[in-house]
Amino acid sequence: MRVIVGLGNPGRQYAHTRHNVGFDVLDTFAKRRKVKILGRQCHALVGSFDHYGEQILLVKPQTFMNESGQAVGQIVRKYHLDPADIFVIYDDMDLPLGKIRIRLQGSSGGHKGMNSIIHHIHSTEFARMRLGIGRGGEVINHVLSRFNRKDKQIVDVSIEQAADALDMILEEGIEATMNQYNRAES
């Protein structure tokens, strides 16, 4: 089993904010795969599908961003997973708007949702995809804001590309996907 986690905050008031691009990518990917992320377990909304005999679990923690690790940790323990079975998608203010970066492991980079996951699974050795949301103003107000029309067009393309990257990871592996999506031009 592999688990793909999209980070965000639950609730309509946070829908499609900068901090919720992880949810948006997961929703786009799930729609393509005709998967409904409606089940509830381990403080998360979940959906799953079979990929060549392997179960892929799609997870949207419902614990708010800063406590995302509670849900991810419970999923890891419930299914006896290794950190390497986890792939996390989240926003990154340090990347320019619309940029995508994929890594096999690493620190949280100061992202509180990632800090929580690292704390709860006791590891940094899980893959992740960061989507650039750009910088602007006071951090909390910025990440909880919605995109203006121009920025939304850029981010919508990025969300589609991130869903493409998830497909590529499943079909061709993470190394090939990193080679394509981590290029300076992407």
Which positions are annotated as active-site residues?
19
Token pair listed for 28: 């786009």
Q: 136-164 burial by CB neighbour count: b if 16+ within 10 A, else e?
A: eeeeeebbeeebeeebeebbeebbebbbb
d(CA 89, CA 5): 6
d(C-alpha 100, C-alpha 186), whole Å: 7
Which residues have C-beta within 8 Å of that of residue 174, sequence separation ≥ 6?
A: 102, 104, 127
* Gap between the Cα atoms of 4 and 51, Å rounded: 13
What are the tokens at 153?
A: 């067009």
Structure tokens at 33: 């795969």
